[in-house]
Amino acid sequence: MDRFSEYRIMWVLVFFDLPTDTKKERKASADFRKRLITDGFVMFQFSIYMRHCPSAENAAVHVKRVKSFLPPLGQVGILTITDKQFGAMELFTEKKVQKPPTEYIQLELF
């Protein structure tokens, strides 16, 4: 099997919704984000971080590591997908309101 196969390369995505009502909860949330970043994750969206891994075995190491520093409160989801699956993702950026095109009046001469 090809060492760099799109079926062998993995992505680990961590989704989370953590409480931030108290100072202690805000600190736990910030610490969790910092630990993800320290482990090589990058922010995909505000509460979604992702990490590229060269193999399923490497991905398992990072999943285990994330599990070791889960915050005491809130919800965390971890999803591991292949590079092929990640590449099939459709991404959309915000649609900006645009002014309608200027309508031109046809001048008719008779």
Q: Considering the domain boundaries, does residue 20 fall inside one? A: yes
Residue 103, both tokens:
């309508």
Interatomic CA distance for residues 10 and 30, integer angstroms: 26
Domain count, the chain: 1
Range of the domain at 27: 10-87
Q: Considering the domain boundaries, does residue 95 fall inside one? A: no
Q: Considering the domain boundaries, does residue 2 fall inside one? A: no
77 to 2, 17, 57, 61, 98: CA distances (angstroms) = 30, 9, 19, 16, 37
Q: Considering the domain boundaries, does residue 103 fall inside one? A: no
Q: Considering the domain boundaries, does residue 26 fall inside one? A: yes
On average, the pLDDT of the chain sits at 89
Residue 6: closest CA among 90, 84, 88: 84
Other CB atoms within 10 A of residue 78 CB? 16
Q: Considering the domain boundaries, does residue 99 fall inside one? A: no
Residue 18, both tokens:
């953590």
CATH number at residue 45: 3.30.70.240
62-85 residue pLDDT tens: 999 999 999 999 999 999 999 999
Interatomic CA distance for residues 62 and 72, integer angstroms: 19
35-64 residue pLDDT tens: 999 999 999 999 999 999 999 999 999 999
pTM of this prediction exceeds 0.75? yes
